[in-house]
Chain A
Amino acid sequence: MPFVNWLKRNLVVIAGLLTLGYLLLPNVVVTVFSFNKPKGRFNYEWQQFSLDAWKDPCGVSGLCGSLSLSLQIAVWATLGATLLGTLIAFALVRYRFRARGAVNSLIFLPMAMPEVVMAASLLTLFLNMGAQLGFWTILIAHIMFCLSFVVTAVKARVMSMDPKLEEAARDLYAGPFQTFVRVTLPIAAPGIAAGALLAFALSFDDFIITNFNAGSTVTFPMFVWGSAQRGTPVQINVIGTTMFVVAVLFVLVSMIVGNRRTRQKA
């Protein structure tokens, strides 16, 4: 029974590919339905092919405004979280200090906490302080929950770094600052980049914490949430598809460039 044997040997491959299909199916639906021309206010049933939404992606009021707000917040949150997180990561790997355990748990806890708990408690703080909910409260919240992820990403990279490289730089009469900028930072860069990318994705896509702390400010995920109640414009799918394609292209290009570089070095 060659077929049964083949099946046995490749069972895990088939199961894995089925899971991959499950993961990608919604993206296929989002893409296909970006070419739909729905009858009612909701874009859940296929009617007929149309390019209307692609020709006018900003045609729905408030959509592109929310998108640009989300991008702005994501950029600032990424910068803030990456800066603060990288400093913490270096302190954790390179120095001995008191209260190390406390610092570690303070960084671990935000990742082990359901978002809704952080969102609700942060809102009680803002309400008690009488803070005006909006751009700044969203930004504060995003930096807070991105921070731990940046620390983890940078820490992993700095930990695997050979301290001898820095010693060598010192031996070659580089000052502490020069050593840091010319040796330490370039080696830590991939970890910092990974952390920053993660922070950007987390901030851009965050809904639960933003939902609690945004007041009447509308980010892109909140626009989608609102439209799920009022009616989903096709433009949402256009933007979802574009983001997916841009992300895949970005990763592919950076991989090809990376491959070429390593090949040139070899």
Chain B
Amino acid sequence: MSTLTEAPPPLAPQAPASKPPKRRGRFTPYWLLLPGILWLVVFFALPMIYQASTSVQTGSLEQGYKVTWHFATYWEALSAYWPQFVRSVLYAGTATILCLLLGYPLAYLIAFRAGRWKNLIMILVIAPFFTSFLIRTLAWKTILADGGPVVGALNTLHVLDVTNWLGMTAGDRVLATPLAVVCGLTYNFLPFMILPLYTSLERIDGRLHEAAGDLYARPWTTFRRVTFPLSMPGVVSGTLLTFIPAAGDYVNADLLGSTDTRMVGNVIQTQFLRVLDYPTAAALSFILMAAILLMVTVYIRRSGTEDLV
């Protein structure tokens, strides 16, 4: 029995012949790597170091900043902006769960039930990408407009009562509330959930479903014991691809939210581009990076999927 839920052959990537053949020209790989890796070192890794150094500087814009190992900036930034941090995690977490709940049926539909419509649905999932996401996010202002049909429907169905109780909306407004921001985040990052889910669902051998049925498993049991465990790689990379950008996003909170829905991305953006308080902004950005890397590492360890790249 247990062999059914263990990894089937297609899930073990490149098991045999994993050793790349050795070629002539010992330095060839280094020449191939050089330009791209140099680019990433100079414009990705080096900036991280500059940012770390900026975060422990003191001074002012007029007199210039100097490294004084002023670690108190971190403490000050955290104590001033912890609500924004908590909000980022809450909003991004809620959006990720919603993406999983909404995205799974669609990924399942494309993988197993769409038949000849498969390609068309796939195109419709990807095509919105080509309309600037800012334009599409602005469209939510129209959809969620006060007194509009969507808000009216949510009101009639008493959904707003529930969200009011949860503190996600206030009164009969959706726009400029946490619900609008979460809705925008869910919408914007949904394809990043659907595509990895689809990829891992599509790899599942259809005979496993038949076998489960032959062994008298009901559809729901088949899903719970066979399909879902086998789609775990997609679930893991989908949640990461949704959570990480959502946690750092400031566009949805800015366009659909209010001053009460500001996330940590909003603070970094204002501190950097408007207030010009570089040390605080750098410290905040460093904390966000550290928090996300920590979460990602723990999450990947616990879910046991190491090969995401």
Contact = CB atoms under 8 A, between A and B. Distances in A.
Q: Most chain-A CB neighbours within 10 Å: which of B30, B37, B296?
A: B37
B281 interface: yes
Interface stretch (B4-12, B16-24, B153-161, B203-211): B16-24
B59 interface: no
Contacts of B2: none
A205 B28 contact: no
Interface residues of B, number: 88
A19 B40 contact: no
Contacts, number: 261
A185 B50 CA distance: 39
A23 B124 contact: yes
Given A13-B109, A84-B36, A125-B47, A247 B130 contact: yes
Interface in B76-96: none
Interface stretch (B140-148, B165-173, B228-236): B140-148
B50 A22 contact: no
Report whether over half of chain A's contact residues are helix, strand or loop; otherwise say mixed: helix
B285 interface: yes
B1 interface: no
B191 interface: yes
A121 B273 CA distance: 13
A116 interface: yes
A118 B282 CA distance: 11
Nearest to B251: A207
Interface in A13-34: 13, 15-17, 19-20, 22-27, 29-30, 33
Contacts of B131: 27, 30, 240-241, 243-244, 247
Interface residues of A, number: 87
Contacts of A122: 43-44, 47
A251 interface: yes
B217 interface: no
B63 to A, nearest CB: 15
Interface string A81-117: 0001101101101111100000110111110111111
A144 interface: yes
A85 B35 CA distance: 9
A144 B43 contact: yes
Given A94-B23, A122-B47, A25 B143 contact: yes
Contacts of B273: 211-212
Contacts of B139: 25-27, 29-30, 33
B177 to A, nearest CB: 17
B309 interface: yes
Nearest to A90: B32
Contacts of B292: 112-114, 117
Given A115-B245, A205-B133, A147 B40 contact: yes
Contacts of B138: 44, 224, 228, 232
Interface of A: 12-13, 15-17, 19-20, 22-27, 29-30, 33, 44-45, 84-85, 87-88, 90-91, 93-97, 103-104, 106-110, 112-118, 120-125, 127-128, 140-141, 143-144, 147-148, 151-152, 159, 163, 201, 204-205, 207-208, 211-212, 220-221, 224-225, 228, 232, 236-237, 239-241, 243-244, 246-248, 251-252, 255
